[in-house]
Amino acid sequence: MSSVPVSAFLALALILFCIGLYGALTKRNTVIVLISIELMLNAVNINLVTFSKYGVNPSITGQVFALFAIAVAAAEAAVGLAILIALYRNRRTVNIDEMNQLKN
């Protein structure tokens, strides 16, 4: 029924992942960095869902896995933001490149 090939979904996921990675590694604003990480995790979800439908031997497990991943991602983001706030209280900045007290 579907005319969209598997490879398209996978490519999408890969691209999404890379965008996320790029964002996470380059953006100065920590919030954006966290969001980028979310992006990466969502890329994974796309993968999982794709495979659970069009995989070599499809199964429902993929979607379960995706659900878990989403939940975990949410938790991670929450914690990340919480820590960011704590940091902001002391440092009055969310610029990631200003967090360089610990080095060498």
SS3 content of the chain, % helix, strand, coil (to 5): 75, 0, 20
Instruction: Considering the complex, state which of residue 1 and residue 25 has its C-beta at the smaller distance from other proteins.
Output: 25
| CA count, 13 A, side-chain hemisphere, 22 | 6
Angle, nearest 10°, between helix axes 61-91 and 30-54?
180
Instruction: Considering the complex, state which of residue 3 and residue 81 has its C-beta at the smaller distance from other proteins.
Output: 81
Binding residues for other proteins, rule: CB under 8 A, are: 13, 17, 20-21, 24-26, 30, 33-34, 37, 40-41, 43-44, 47-48, 50-51, 55-59, 61-62, 64-65, 68-69, 72, 75-76, 79-80, 82-84, 86-87, 89-91, 96-97, 99-104
